[in-house]
A and B are shown apart, each in its own frame.
Chain A
Amino acid sequence: MSYIELKNVKKEYKMGEVTIKAAHDVSFTIEKGELVVILGPSGAGKTTILNLLGGMDSATSGHIIVDNEEITAYNRKELIAYRRNSIGFVFQFYNLVQNLTALENVELAVQICKNPLNPTKVLEQVGLKDRINNFPGGLSGGEQQRVAIARAIAKNPKLLLCDEPTGALDSKTGVKILDLLQKSCRNTGMTTIIITHNAIISEIADKVIRIKNGTVEDIKINKKPKDVKELDW
């Protein structure tokens, strides 16, 4: 049995009288420690899948099993606990608390989970040793995203979910961020899922899942994933 398993997952939104099928018949598996890229054009349903996987939304039908736990069966409170202890999120727009310093933003996440890592160390790992007491407003976009990644990693989650982590960054900074994600995945063995519309990024993944029109188009396993530095922008 795989570490993560999605079986016939379906998500529908009701907008008045119209039902929008955001995802249907989505099935795939992910092994522990894998770096997975979910690839697809905008509006294909990538984020929906990520949200379902991250416990931010519940599926209309189907099953999602993470580490032997069926999260589709969770109630609201269990979902929150799941997010709290098992998931690390990285967003396109960082979503840092403006009123907290870099360190505090990490601490904010850390203080509520079971086995956190040391926030200062994590920030050092992401290369922000000198910036830990800065407020997000005083950091560049790349730096802010590093803080966001540090915040996600420091929770020591089972799953690191990144939604277009480089979407708001220039390519140079984007590379650095991807590098950071890849390294952390390899060093810590943390299962990492990156969502992107950028096919190039998929080259660094162990597994690439293509999504189109709300369903899985194909799943490709990279026998030899590229190093970020080898990517050709």
Chain B
Amino acid sequence: MRLLYKLSFVKMRKNIGRFLSVLFIVALGVGFFAGLRETTPDIHTTLDNYYDKYHLMDFKIVSTGGLTEDDVLSLKNLEYIEKVIPSYSTDAIIDGEEVRIHAIEDEVNTFDIIEGKMPTNEKECLADSTKYQIGDTLLITKTSVDDILKVETYTVVGLINSPMYLSRQMGISSVGTGELQSFIYVLKENFNSSYYTEIYITAQGALDKLAYFEDYDKITRKLLEKLEELKPIRETKRYEEILEEATLEINKIENEYNDQINEAKITLNDALTEINRGREQIIKAKNEIAKNENILATEEKNGITKINNAKEAWNNSYNTFINTLKLAGLTEDTLEDVKKTLDTKVSELEDLLLTISKEDEIYTTYTKELENLKNEQKNLETLITTKNTLNASKEEIEANEKKLNEQISAGKEELEKAKQEVSENEAKINSAYEEYQEGLNTLNNKEAELAQKIEEAKASLKEIEKPEWYLLDRTDNNGYASIWDDASKVDAIAGIFPIFFITVVALMCFNTMNRMIEEERGEIGILSSLGYSWFMIINGYLFYIFFATVIGVTVGLLIGYTLIPNVIYSIYHANYILPQLQINMKLLPFFVMILVTLGLMSIIAITTCLKELKNAPATILRPASPKRGKKVLLEHIKFIWKRLSFTWKVTVRNMFRYKKRIIMTVLGVVGSTALLLTGFGLRDSISGLAELQYGKINHYDALFVMQNSFKELDDELKERLANDSIIEYMPIYQASFTFDAKNLNHDVYLIVLNNPENIDTFITMNSKVNEEFTFPSDGVIISEKMADLLNVKIGDMIKIRNNNNELVILPVKEIIENYTLHYIYMNEATYEKYFEQELSYNMIMAKLNSDTSHSILAKEWMDAGLISTINFTEDNIQVFDNMVGGLNLIILLIIGASCMLAFIVLYNLTTINIAERLREISTLKVLGFYDKEVSSYVYRETLLLTIIGIFIGLGAGIFLHMYVINVAETDNILFLHNILWPSYIYSFLIIIFFTVIVQIITNRRLKKIDMIESLKSVE
């Protein structure tokens, strides 16, 4: 027995090519099968763990009326509920982009911190790792609810990924263009709101269930029913609350206003009193001034009279004096001198008298004369005294006059001053009065205003709508449902490819083993004749198979389990932000796979061996009689058969002689070719898309997203648009909506055109249903993939919702060619009719000069503060290519696998072909066929079969491609359905290439065939 095992090893070593080909066939088949089979479960586990680890909510409640602590309490009392966590979020504009801001929660909707740390204060935040960097400063310029945030500037301290945001398309935003671009998380305390914006809910036991599966749905459905029961109750409660709050608020406002008005009134009255008092004082002051003026005037008059009287008296005295002087013959001026002279005379005379005796007559004369002189002197003295008195009194009079004048002018000055003061005060009072009048007006206005406001508030109270609760489940997260949908597609593809592979692989193994055993017929005969039981002989082969299978399955599973799920998963990275894939190396499938493969291979070995072993050893020892040549059908068609050359005849006969091999060759080639064509076809379906969508269909160059919406272009805009770089332009209104199809939420762009007649300049609309496209005057145009998803035709209605979940129903009038995203187009009239609101445009679509610098244009408009951003169509091509770029990997995988399949199949079959026809080949060699002739004799058949296989394969490939496209197509991309001719050529050439490679390899063996040896043996 040990010898038989040893023999098996020898066989492996001796014909290592055959052993390896069996091994690789098994590895390839098993690897592909297991890899594709396990991809979806791997993704499923990865996703479920991701959701569980970060406590993804099961439900979210939002309400148009906000949510309160009472709502939370009543929710907590529900059956099946686990956690009820009220929280906040708001949509905001940061740096011109729409960003959702969430409050950080500990127990629900947590996140994976990729880098950095949790915020420790209110100025820090966590941000979307795909968009931001640590240290970025985020300035919030606008929020959907005013003043909901306490802080406007945040610093990014941590980067996160969240199961809430799986898809790179994040959904609808209530601010900006309507397309949500990113998200951040801030501390809960940062929110400044009297109500909660949302409540997150988890269901009891949901964590243990696998997301997406029926078990999970069952558990959550029970809770959903309870939630739906609670919904109307809470809605009514909340409505009443809001009404009450609003009424209270109105009252409060009214009171406040009234207080203010009263206060104002008091102030005004005080002011008026003050004014009046001022006025009285002024009048009093004026009277005083008048009185004082009178007194002054009287005083002046009296003074002047007195002075005049004094002057008159003095003048009389003076005149008398002058007259006296005149009589004495004196003048005023000589008076003194005369007196002096007289005085001298007197003294002289007195002196003389002294000398003269008294008796002297002279004396008497003299005495008499002296007497006279003395009298005269006395008179003179009197005169001088009078003069002096007169002078003194004159001076006095003059001084009095001066004093009076001074007194009078001082009085007058004082009075002037007082008058000025009074007039100033008067002016002040007047302006105060004006102010007072104004205040009075304002007060009156305010009173009117208040009355109106209260009126309005009371009216709006009646208009308050009943708040509505929205019960959202996980599918509300963009990406939650679609990633599962996409992963399920892999399952669908996984369903066909492995069956295909396994079939070919099983056939190949069968063929190889069959050949091996047939070749070793002699050996089996010897063993049999030596008395080995058939069990033991078969065992030898099983040993061989065991080795090939175990190694093959192991290699195949290792590669298949790791490579294929990762390759497919990496494709999703283009559209989703995902955690690392968890590869599950499942042991059970491993053993099942080994057992099944082993079982299959054993059946092959046993049946083939038994076929030989049922004969007596002697018969087995003799070689099997060759199959007899047979005429084929074609030979009866003489005119064709005659024309065939020899080798062709042999080829044709051989093809019918070795039917099994022929079928396998054709099948193998058909499979490889079909796969290859599908691979290349997929590339065609995707790679041309961006060019088609953004080159041929949406051929406008730029979309200006305006800062302010407008009804009509104003002069400033018109002037700017008259710029050289802008060839044509059209105002449009664009907004994001959603629609439901096949249980999934899809985003759609609604575009209203200002001037639909001119649409050809910007967008080429090709009707998919009518011969000629016409822009409907009433009704909308939808893109074809949307029509597909909704299964609508012209005349049907479609339902779309905005971000507030408000429904609009529109009639479809035209369906147009479109490849990526969904669009609804309409004119202004249609919009206003169905949306029941006036339209204002928010974007401008433009065709640019080809040499326009995008960055300069954008900067100009941004600096002018007119736009929030520009979308350049050219950039979309890039974005799109990145998005589908991942698919190229799966295409490579398919192409790689088909090449491997082609190689193994062709190599295997060619080797077998040569082995089976060793004798025939040797005969040809002996007959003097050159190597080339021998090769062509042998290979012609394979080549012909390959070519037949290729053509059938190309045909089959078309169908396979169609199938794969239908399964793989994502919901917002319409793949091109036709395969371009180079793909056919590539597929053809690649298979031919492998055929030739295989022939080059096997040709060496062909050359080495020892004709002497092979002809010696008996046939």
Query: A-side interface residues toward B, CB under 8 Å?
Result: 47, 51, 54, 56-57, 77, 80-85, 87, 89, 91, 93-101, 104, 107-109, 111-113, 135-138, 151, 155, 168
Contact = CB atoms under 8 A, between A and B. Distances in A.
Given A57-B1012, A93-B1015, A99 B927 contact: no
**Residue of A97, A100, A107 contacting most chain B CB atoms (<10 Å):** A97
A81 B932 CA distance: 13
Nearest to A134: B629
A137 B646 contact: no
B937 to A, nearest CB: 9
A91 B1015 contact: yes
Interface in B623-667: 626-630, 646, 649-650, 653-654, 657
A53 to B, nearest CB: 13
Contact of B629 (A81, A82, A99): A99
B1019 A111 contact: no
A85 B928 contact: yes
B933 A112 contact: yes
Given A98-B627, A100-B629, A137-B626, A80 B930 contact: yes
Given A101-B629, A104-B646, A77 B1018 contact: no
Nearest to A84: B928
27 contacts: A47-B1012, A47-B1016, A54-B926, A56-B926, A56-B1012, A57-B1012, A77-B930, A80-B929, A81-B930, A83-B925, A89-B927, A95-B919, A95-B926, A95-B1015, A97-B650, A99-B629, A99-B657, A99-B920, A100-B649, A107-B646, A108-B924, A108-B927, A135-B628, A137-B627, A138-B628, A151-B927, A155-B927
B923 interface: yes
Interface of B: 626-630, 646, 649-650, 653-654, 657, 919-920, 922-931, 933, 1011-1012, 1015-1019
Contacts of A101: 629
A138 B631 CA distance: 12
B923 to A, nearest CB: 5
Given A54-B926, A95-B923, A100-B629, 14 more contacts: A56-B1011, A77-B930, A80-B929, A83-B927, A84-B928, A95-B922, A95-B1015, A97-B920, A98-B629, A98-B920, A99-B629, A104-B649, A136-B629, A155-B927
A84 B929 CA distance: 7
A135 B632 CA distance: 12
Contacts of A99: 629, 650, 653-654, 657, 920
A46 B1011 CA distance: 17
A151 B927 CA distance: 9
A108 B646 contact: yes
Given A95-B1019, A97-B650, A111-B646, A83 B928 contact: yes
Contacts of B650: 97, 99-100, 104
Contacts of B923: 95-97
Contacts of A82: 928
Contacts of B919: 95
A182 B840 CA distance: 112
B968 to A, nearest CB: 46
Contacts of A81: 928, 930
A135 B629 contact: yes
A51 B646 contact: no
Nearest to B928: A84
Nearest to A54: B926
B99 to A, nearest CB: 77
Given A93-B1018, A95-B1019, A99-B657, A109 B927 contact: yes
Given A95-B1015, A107-B646, A112 B928 contact: yes
B926 A83 contact: yes
Contacts of A137: 626-629
Nearest to A50: B1012
Nearest to A93: B1019
Nearest to A86: B928
Contacts of A80: 925, 928-931
Nearest to B632: A99
A155 B928 CA distance: 11
B686 to A, nearest CB: 48
A54 B925 CA distance: 12
B630 to A, nearest CB: 7
Contacts of A54: 926
B911 to A, nearest CB: 20
Contact of B928 (A47, A87, A91, A94): A87
Contacts of B920: 97-99
B654 to A, nearest CB: 6
B1019 to A, nearest CB: 5
Contacts of B933: 112
Contacts of A155: 927
Contacts of B629: 98-101, 135-137
Contacts of A77: 930
Nearest to A107: B646
Contact of B626 (A98, A113, A138): A98
Nearest to B625: A137
Contacts of A97: 650, 920, 923
Contacts of B927: 83-84, 89, 108-109, 112, 151, 155
Contacts of A104: 646, 649-650
Contacts of B654: 99
**Residue of B626, B646, B920, B926 contacting most chain A CB atoms (<10 Å):** B926
B586 to A, nearest CB: 49
**Residue of A81, A85, A89 contacting most chain B CB atoms (<10 Å):** A89
Nearest to B926: A89
A91 B628 CA distance: 20
A59 to B, nearest CB: 14
A152 to B, nearest CB: 9
A115 B965 CA distance: 62
B928 to A, nearest CB: 3
A113 B925 CA distance: 13
A94 B650 CA distance: 18
A135 to B, nearest CB: 4
